[in-house]
A and B are shown apart, each in its own frame.
Chain A
Amino acid sequence: MSNALLTAERPDFAAIAAWIPKGASVLDLGCGDGSLLRYLKETRAVRGYGVEISDLDIVSCIANGVNVIQNDLEAGLSDFEDNAFDFVILSQTLQATRHTEPLIQEMLRVGREGIVSFPNFGYWKSRLNVVLGNMPVSSELPYQWYDTPNVHLCTLNDFESFCRKYCVSVTARSVMTGGREVGLLPNLLGSTAVYRFQRGI
């Protein structure tokens, strides 16, 4: 897939890339087929590794020419040393992690900065779905309630209060819908959130 097509399909990629300086070192947790890492390699010349558990994705990562370590994120990141990376990214994976809080802490042990992107459950269409009596199904949340891997869905407000509670300091935020930046009422009008954060003081 060309980079233009890729960023159209995954608008959070461009937002993430915008924060990453050229030549940075990056760890991408739950890296899937390695598209983001490949994109960051091509556009930001990063030195990167992915962590992924799925067999199929391991093969795709290798075919995409990105480094991938097969591992279960929930088991922690013990293969990685403290401060080994400039950035640790969790792209569209946060909502599917079981041990979310320890994982965020692990991200900030292994990396100097963290970046997460996730579907905003506070997006008005999701709220409307629930008000009308159904779990939301959309391009950001493409699963039915019975087959979803998403166990920890949250809103922008939820994530920000989580960060306050666990001493995680948010340094930047990008909220978007359909690839367009949302400025007004982001927790209501944004479908995808991307946060940049570091250890709080």
Chain B
Amino acid sequence: MANSVGIVTAQCALFDTPLTFRSGAVLPRYELMYETYGTLNAEKSNAILICHALSGYHHVAGYYADEPKNIGWWDNMVGPGKPINTDNFFVIGLNNLGGCHGSTGPSSINPETGSPYGAGFPMVTVEDWVESQARLADRFGIQQFAAVIGGSLGGMQALQWSLAYPERVRHVLAIACAPRLTAQNIAFNDVARNAILTDPDFHGGDYYQHGVVPTRGLRLARMLGHITYLSDDAMADKFGRALRSEKFNYGYDVEFQIESYLRYQGDKFAAYFDANTYLLMTKALDYFDPSHDFGGDLNRGFARARADFLVISFTTDWRFSPQRSREIVRPLLHNRRNVSYAEITSTHGHDSFLMEHPHYFDVMRAYLAKVSQEVSA
């Protein structure tokens, strides 16, 4: 495969220093799954952390020896000669706490009870994730990341890095992101959560013991989410009013292609993703607000930041619209941070941040080439 990091292996890091969550809950010990690509230089100055969004995980690039088709979720961006160039950078991807891809989460066994955490897993926030990521950085002896990069919810973690650990991150790349969710965005998340919470198979979050999974709820949540990740134009282009068969059937089975697509996406997702993780991730999105402790004033919320920033938005993204990205740029300008902002003309809505787009990739490439020069000088 051209420009691939090739065969990769997931690693597991065990932490037995208790982590106190923002909510006050304490996790005595936990594991984080991660992968790395490229080589950490002697000064440990060339490390990049990639934070994932709602459904991402530690498998960012490359493929597994025994699963050659299981390619990392951001493989188009990360690799030798790619914008996040693994010839120059040491890249870390991890699965966040509360996840369902091997890091400690609601489906993991709670050693105290011998059964899955389920509803007992602490409500995890973006702040808590960054705390756990900092401990992972400590394991590598990384004092300062060359860059922390993320899209969507991952972008919020990148922003939080600049606030929680201003001296530990040189550059923050926040893509298709927002400084805090709007009421409309929280509303979408709440409908998705309600789909799960009201599924009879949910059992208050302890469905594991009942040997069932709230598939219907999770499926609906994903279908709703998926609609908001695509643009009106992209959907019209891809599906329009196309029917599966030639004529109307006057029933509730799948008729339009868009219905078929959404149900397929819902089924696919519900088959592997954990419903409790979905709930946690959406709440983390809702809670994140750097201005929360500052009377809603983002200018004061971002005053601690010391990093340089690259903010990127996509014209047809209405879930995290360009307007929301400008709400990140403004307080950075106010606080006299170095910041660049690119608004990419793209037809693919929120999903654009995962897709290969020449201008988007040129911006990333140009910015990270400067970062590479800076940290290797």
Taking a contact as CB atoms closer than 8 A, the residue among A59, A70, A79 that contacts B366 in the complex is: A59
Any B CB within 8 A of the CB of A168: no
Any B CB within 8 A of the CB of A199: no
Are the CB atoms of B333 and A79 closer together than 8 Å? Answer: yes
Known: A67-B338, A69-B340. A62 touches B329 (CB 8 A): no
Taking a contact as CB atoms closer than 8 A, the residue among B326, B336, B370 that contacts A62 in the complex is: B370
Known: A55-B359, A59-B362. A68 touches B333 (CB 8 A): no
Taking the closest CB of chain B, its distance from the CB of A32, in whole angstroms, is 15
What is the size, in residues, of chain A's interface with B at 8 Å between Cβ atoms?
19
Q: Which of A44-70 contact B (CB under 8 A)?
A: 47, 49, 55, 58-59, 61-63, 65, 67-70
Are the CB atoms of B341 and A69 closer together than 8 Å? Answer: yes
Are the CB atoms of A59 and B363 closer together than 8 Å? Answer: yes
**Chain A positions within 8 Å of B232 at CB level:** none
Q: Which of B361-375 contact A (CB under 8 A)?
A: 362-363, 366-367, 369-370
The chain B residue sitting closest to A27, CB to CB, is B333
Q: Give 1 or 0 for each of A1-36: 1 = CB within 8 Å of chain B CB.
A: 000000000000000000000000100000000000
**Chain B positions within 8 Å of A69 at CB level:** 329, 333, 339-341
Are the CB atoms of A68 and B341 closer together than 8 Å? Answer: yes
The chain A residue sitting closest to B369, CB to CB, is A63
Are the CB atoms of B343 and A70 closer together than 8 Å? Answer: yes
Are the CB atoms of A65 and B345 closer together than 8 Å? Answer: no
Are the CB atoms of A80 and B341 closer together than 8 Å? Answer: no
**Chain B positions within 8 Å of A62 at CB level:** 310, 340, 363, 366-367, 370
The chain A residue sitting closest to B299, CB to CB, is A81
The total of Cβ contacts below 8 Å across the A-B interface reads 49
Q: How far is the CA of A65 from the CA of B343 in the complex (A)?
A: 18
Taking a contact as CB atoms closer than 8 A, the residue among A55, A63, A81, A84 that contacts B345 in the complex is: A55
Are the CB atoms of B342 and A79 closer together than 8 Å? Answer: no
Known: A55-B345, A59-B366. A47 touches B333 (CB 8 A): no
The chain B residue sitting closest to A53, CB to CB, is B343
**Chain B positions within 8 Å of A58 at CB level:** 340, 342, 363
Taking the closest CB of chain B, its distance from the CB of A38, in whole angstroms, is 12
Q: Which of B318-339 contact A (CB under 8 A)?
A: 326, 329-330, 333-334, 336, 338-339
Taking the closest CB of chain B, its distance from the CB of A5, in whole angstroms, is 22
Are the CB atoms of B366 and A67 closer together than 8 Å? Answer: no
**Chain B positions within 8 Å of A49 at CB level:** 333, 339
**Chain A positions within 8 Å of B342 at CB level:** 55, 58, 70
Are the CB atoms of A63 and B333 closer together than 8 Å? Answer: no
Are the CB atoms of A61 and B333 closer together than 8 Å? Answer: no
**Chain A positions within 8 Å of B370 at CB level:** 62-63, 65
Q: How far is the CA of A62 from the CA of B362 in the complex (A)?
A: 10
**Chain A positions within 8 Å of B339 at CB level:** 49, 67, 69
Q: How far is the CA of A79 from the CA of B330 in the complex (A)?
A: 6
Taking a contact as CB atoms closer than 8 A, the residue among A55, A71, A81 that contacts B334 in the complex is: A81
Q: 29 interchain pairs (CB within 8 A)?
A: A25-B336, A47-B336, A49-B333, A49-B339, A55-B342, A58-B363, A59-B359, A61-B340, A62-B310, A62-B366, A62-B367, A63-B366, A63-B369, A65-B370, A67-B338, A67-B340, A69-B333, A69-B339, A69-B340, A69-B341, A70-B342, A71-B341, A71-B343, A79-B326, A79-B330, A79-B333, A80-B333, A81-B333, A84-B333
Could you list 8 further interchain pairs (A-B, Cβ under 8 angstroms) beyond the known A47-B336, A71-B343?
A25-B336, A58-B342, A63-B366, A63-B369, A63-B370, A69-B333, A69-B341, A71-B341
CB-based closest 9 A-B pairs: A62-B366, A63-B366, A69-B341, A59-B362, A70-B343, A55-B359, A59-B366, A68-B340, A62-B367
